Chains A and B, each alone.
Chain A
Amino acid sequence: MLAFLARRLLIAIPTIILISIFVFGMQKLLPGDPVLVMAGEERDPEVIEFLREKYRLNDPIPVQYMTWAGNALQGDLGTSLRTQQPVLELIGEKLPVTLQLALMALVIAMAIGIPAGVISAYKKGTWIDWVANVVALSGLSVPNFWLGIMLILLVSVKLGWLPASGYQPFSEDPLQSIRVMIMPAFVLGTAIAATLMRHTRSAMLSVLKSDYVRTARAKGLREHTVLIKHALRNALVPVVTVTTLIFGELLAGAVLTEQIFTIPGFGKLVVDAVFNRDYAVVQGIVLCTGIAFIFMNILADAAYRVLNPRMRDT
């Protein structure tokens, strides 16, 4: 296991370097001039030239990249052109927000998706299966921004149950923090629940047909023991993989949901940064989420080995 982890971590290094080069290059290909945006409405030529020099935008692009990478290796990801905050500090500010939203969304998705998948597989072909499928598909097809606005109008404006938007750090006021985050987490979670439900259902279907389930039933075990202990545990292997990957994606930020509910996470930050051509911020966040994604991948592979002993030697 240790050797496996070490190997995977080594492979991750060139991947991260490639990601950072790719993102750096892509940004430079974008039309639009960051300095022109920063210079303000008056666009004073003297200021423009000064800013270009200050942020080394006159250097050749490979030199710019090397400067950035050199600083990044020393833990300095630069400062935001827009607000002058250090990028590392910004990431530290946004990461807990994104993490909390991702975790809450995932919990909601799992609480809905996995039981729904199990039931619809077990009751395959009945009306229950049919209803579960329709619900799952609509969860997947309803756009986040529409569901989000409808929820705000219903739950916050009409009923006054929850705050309409905003963010409260978990460490300051856990209850209020969960209250403001529950709607966006639900919006995100329902879409993911659909994916999880489909995966659980198909995994359960194939497991339920296998010999050991028939054996378990032949032994006279109670049906729910067969279903939960024998079938679900094995069916979970692919579901865990999918879940970890989804979690990795969530860490990159949920742009639309964050925008609607005004949650100051990665998604909102990165969109604003792209519009303002705030290169250092985009670069820093992509690097950060890239690393998170790779890490989640490694975690998924490790979880696979824990759940399925046959894979442990490879």
Chain B
Amino acid sequence: MRFGRTLSIAALLALTTGLAHAQDLRIGLQEDPDVLDPDQSRTFVGRIVYASLCDKLVDITPDLEIIPMLATGWDWNDDGTELTMTLREGVTFHDGEPFNAEAVAANIDRSKNLDESRRKSEVSSIESWEVVDEYTIRFNLSAPDATLIAQFADRSGMMLSPKATAEAGVEFGLNPVCAGPFMFKERIQQDRIVLEKFDAYWNADAINFDSVTFLPIPDTTVRLANLRAGDLDMLERLAATDVGSVESDDGLTLEKATSLGYQGITINVGNGDRANNPLGESNLVRQALSLSIDRNALNQVVFEGAFAPGNQPYASTSPWYNDAFPLPERDVEAAKALLAEAGYGDGMTIEVQVANNPVQTQVMQVIQAMASEAGIDIELAAKEFATLLSDQSAGAYTASQIGWSGRVDPDGNIHQFMTTGGGINDSKYSDPEMDRLLDEARLSNDTPVRKESYDAAIALQQRDMPIIYLYHPVWIWALDDKIEGFTAYPDGMIRLQGASFAE
């Protein structure tokens, strides 16, 4: 009897200690991230892991304001060519190395000069830097660059341990060492990434989990099934078609944020011979195609109304949206009139390439049906994504249904697409006035001044339409009810500061 009681007390103790240790948060991801080196990585899903692993110089609020993180303050000189940042004191990297101005200098040097760096264009305006004192660094720019601070809120601003980068070189991603709330523990490709709480984190009070496990589960149905079965605590990118079923589930909650990115149709207007067709040659035809699309119906049919219809590179909720060009109503008659004016009153046929996944194919099929009523016959060319991308970049396309993941600074959603010679201007659209406006918008740190330039650029875009914008995805997270304090951000990241399991 006594033995039995001792046994049950022991069992109870074991159980409670077990509970006290069970603060592992399991997050379902849609894809397996690429290499875990912020200077080399390129995937959206990789950035979700960094949000727990690598702190940045600055962060954003859900309203896209820039706030201090590892930098506590910053100042521009009068002509916007010098940026001085004050750094947080008492911060250490996961390997115990101190965070200071020298460390920032080493990080910027790596982003700029590592051969494999994918960050070069983001920090290209930085010409040199000076370590003013241990916790102050000054960047000297070749020209004013209003986009730089926002770059520091993403991978370019992530601080890696200089000792670890020096030792590991390009292989840093196999064992990343940063200054975020969690440290890298292990990774099994396509299975899991495990991070452990970093006890010396500067903001440790905000962290309520002992570890985080990221599990890539590509199939959306299976990802949700895992959450329902209790094998996950939360997941990112719930399918829009599953929103209703999660809402009616008592054990789950939903969080949403309209993304910074967009989906649209990029049109070849000057990228080689394939631009020689009615759609590539005439902006009236492009306007007609845009007018033939009912963006609200598209959203209802494909996404059950969960996404945000759009007609500009910025969502209508963004401060950079140009209110002079609201979401157009579908107008088939006006579209036909534009086609007639352009000399194609009898209709025409164009080819649009689309990624061969069910959702994007459905988007284009809906548009195909809508456009045909206006006299534009669309032939769909379904391609696997790598092929679609290389055809688009090489100009081997007429029009391409593709999107952009979006950037915090307005420049990131438009400059490289619309300026002559822009890195991802696959339309090869070129207009001197557009170039001037978008270059000018980079020079000022004054929001109203920049807004004026972007408004004017959007007006030109609405006239010429090298890209027809369709909608802005909405990030949808599904969470187990027991998670409290999760905040949705428009950049789609999962920030664990302040989140916890309910007691």
B76 within 8 A of A: no
Interface contact B120-A269, CB-CB below 8 Å? no
Within 8 A of B (CB), among A20-67: 30-34, 36-47, 50-51, 54
Of A200-208, A258-266, A283-291, the segment with at least 4 beta carbons within 8 Å of chain B is: A258-266
Interface contact A156-B389, CB-CB below 8 Å? no
A131 within 8 A of B: no
Interface contact B389-A36, CB-CB below 8 Å? yes
Interface contact A272-B386, CB-CB below 8 Å? no
Complex-state Cα separation, A107 to B218, whole angstroms: 28
Of B99-107, B187-195, B196-204, B285-293, the segment with at least 4 beta carbons within 8 Å of chain A is: B187-195
Interface contact B120-A84, CB-CB below 8 Å? no
Of A6-14, A118-126, A159-167, A238-246, the segment with at least 4 beta carbons within 8 Å of chain B is: A159-167
Of B15-23, B221-229, B450-458, B461-469, the segment with at least 4 beta carbons within 8 Å of chain A is: B221-229
Interface contact B42-A40, CB-CB below 8 Å? yes
Within 8 A of B (CB), among A159-206: 160, 163-167
Residues from chain B with a CB closer than 8 A to the CB of A259 are 218-219
Cβ contact of A152, chosen from B189, B222, B404, cutoff 8 A: B222
Q: Say whether, besides A43-B423, A262-B222, A264-B188, A163 and B121 are in contact (CB < 8 Å).
A: no
B391 within 8 A of A: yes
B373 within 8 A of A: no
Residue of B nearest to A180 (CB): B231
B173 within 8 A of A: yes
Q: Say whether, besides A41-B405, A84-B173, A166-B215, A32 and B225 are in contact (CB < 8 Å).
A: no
Taking the closest CB of chain B, its distance from the CB of A198, in whole angstroms, is 31
Interface contact B225-A85, CB-CB below 8 Å? no
B330 within 8 A of A: no
Interface contact A32-B386, CB-CB below 8 Å? yes
Residues from chain B with a CB closer than 8 A to the CB of A276 are 386
Interface contact A93-B386, CB-CB below 8 Å? no
Interface contact A156-B34, CB-CB below 8 Å? no
Q: Say whether, besides A41-B42, A275-B386, A262 and B188 are in contact (CB < 8 Å).
A: no
Q: Say whether, besides A40-B42, A42-B118, A46-B120, A152 and B386 are in contact (CB < 8 Å).
A: no
B12 within 8 A of A: no
Residues from chain A with a CB closer than 8 A to the CB of B393 are 33, 36, 43
For the complex with contacts A44-B120, A157-B225, A260-B219, 6 further pairs of A-B residues with Cβ separation under 8 Å are: A43-B423, A83-B173, A152-B229, A163-B229, A164-B225, A275-B384
Which residues on A are within 8 Å of B, measured CB to CB?
30-34, 36-47, 50-51, 54, 82-85, 90, 93, 149, 152-153, 156-157, 160, 163-167, 259-262, 264, 268-269, 272, 275-277
